[in-house]
Amino acid sequence: MTLKSKGFRRSTRTKLSKKSRNKGMIPITRSLATFDVGQKVHIVLEPSVHKGMPHPRYHGKTGTVMEQRGRSFLLEIRDGNAKKVIISRPEHLKAQSL
């Protein structure tokens, strides 16, 4: 009997799928987006870009940008009472609108 896969993208059939009109690669401006330190951003996973994707359990969370490391950003989020640091690329982030 085979074992159940425990991969990174398991149990994400709906979370990491796009609607048929939105399939394909994203515009280049999403990859070149910049965020300031202290800015609030939403983690919205982009399924067509695998590199720099945070774990799917953080999809929909809001965090604060701590610093930039190369192309990626360090985010501080609250997971229950714990503060966690997430590394993510800008394709998976959206600026919070006021």
Residues 19-35 pLDDT 10s: 999 999 999 999 999 99
pLDDT band at 97 (very low <50, low <70, confident <90, very high): confident
- In this predicted structure, the answer to whether residue 95 has a pLDDT above a threshold of 90 is yes
**Cα-Cα-Cα-Cα dihedral sign, residues 20, 25, 29, 34:** positive
Place of tokens 């300031």: 36
Name the average pLDDT for the chain. Answer: 94
Write down the CATH number for the domain with range 35-95: 2.30.30.70
**Angle of CA points 7, 9, 16, to nearest 5°:** 170
Give the model's pLDDT for residue 59: 95
